[in-house]
Amino acid sequence: MSENKLKGIDAAIFDIGDTLLKFPLSIEEYHFKFLKQILGADFEVTSEQLSSAIDIAEHMVGMHHFDSRVGYDHLITSDEWHLVDKTLLKQLGVTENLDDLAAQYQSLWIDLLESTGHAPLPGAKEVLSYLKEKGYLLGVASNWDKPPHKQLEEHDLLKFFDDIQWTLVRGYAKPSPYMLIMASHNLGVNPRRCVFIGNSIAKDVEAAKRAGMKSILLSPYESEVEDVIVIQELIKIKKLL
């Protein structure tokens, strides 16, 4: 899809991870790193095996949430993360000391997520400042397990947003359109006059499509996606809005 100016847009809603903020490594790379830390340098797993194991583990906790009737703003508990990590390891063929290894794995992720190792993507603050000056309303809709306000504030980005939506509860989390619809409602903007910016075709682009929003895919790996504007750098949003 061409990078012509988008018309009829009053609000821009952003994902966070790998869209506004980024860790030095990708999520997949951290999985590989942490697995070798707890299982040994000789442990080998393919990207396909890891992806399948993650899907099964996420489905497991998703069914737990469904059965427990948890709400949109549910904070995932340590026990639930333990279930995710234990299921993941089991799917990767680990059979011994599962509880201890899952606890070690969870600890590594907690240390990472509570660190200040993430940084804004190049151009993030410039783009948000530009959009506010142009009069756009700005929102966040991100699959996070807790409020992301602290991480945004650390990099002086929180002040730009008029609404922030977050959840990891399946049925509410992307690719469900729930957060995007909630953000547009709170902003007082028809979803069709919103654009959603994210980095995942399966979650972000799909959620925008279901919500009736236009979408911009930020990806250095994709060049063309049907009915989606693809950009390789965040700063290019200034040419679109």
Neighbours of 49 (CB within 10 A): 13
Residue linked to tokens 């509880």: 99
Average pLDDT (123-144) is 97
- Which position has the higher pLDDT, 76 or 124? 124
Per-residue pLDDT at 26 exceeds 90:
no
Nearest to 194 by CA among 171, 163, 225: 163
C-alpha 86/C-alpha 102 separation (Å) is 5
Between 227 and 46, the higher pLDDT residue? 46
Domain residue limits, the chain: 11-23+119-239, 27-113
Q: Which residues pair with 12 in a beta bridge?
A: 138, 195
**Mean of the pLDDT values across residues 181-195?**
98
Q: Does 238 have pLDDT greater than 80?
A: yes
Tell me the pLDDT tens digit for each residue of 147-177.
Answer: 999 889 999 999 999 999 999 998 999 999 9
Confidence check: pLDDT of 189 > 60:
yes
How close are the terminal C-alpha atoms of the chain, in Å?
15
Question: Which pLDDT belongs to residue 24?
Answer: 85
* Mean pLDDT along residues 181-207: 96
Angle at 61 between CA 55 and CA 64, to 5 degrees: 140
Look at the alpha carbons of 14, 19, 23, 29 in this order and tell me if their dihedral is positive or negative.
positive
The number of angstroms, rounded, from the C-alpha of 21 to the middle of its chain's C-alpha atoms is 10
DSSP per-residue codes, 53-114: HHHHHHHHHHHHHHHHT--TTPPPPHHHHHHHHHHHHHHTT--SSHHHHHHHHHHHHHHHHT
Mean pLDDT rounded to a whole number for the chain: 92
Fold of 11-23+119-239: Rossmann fold (3.40.50)
DSSP structural state of residue 205: I
- Kindly report, residue by residue over 43-71, the tens digit of the pLDDT: 999 999 999 999 999 899 889 999 999 99
**Which residue carries 């990590």 as its tokens?**
85
Mean pLDDT value across residues 200-222: 92
CA dist., res. 210 & res. 233, Å (int): 25
Nearest to 57 by CA among 111, 124, 127, 109: 109
The pLDDT value recorded for residue 4 is 65
Q: Is the dihedral of CA 229, 234, 239, 241 positive or negative?
A: positive
CA 211/CA 196 separation, integer angstroms = 10
Name the phi and psi angles at 198, rounded to 5: -155, 180
- Token pair belonging to 155: 């990099």
Position 227 scores a pLDDT of: 80
What gap in Å lies between CA 205 and CA 196, rounded to an integer? 8
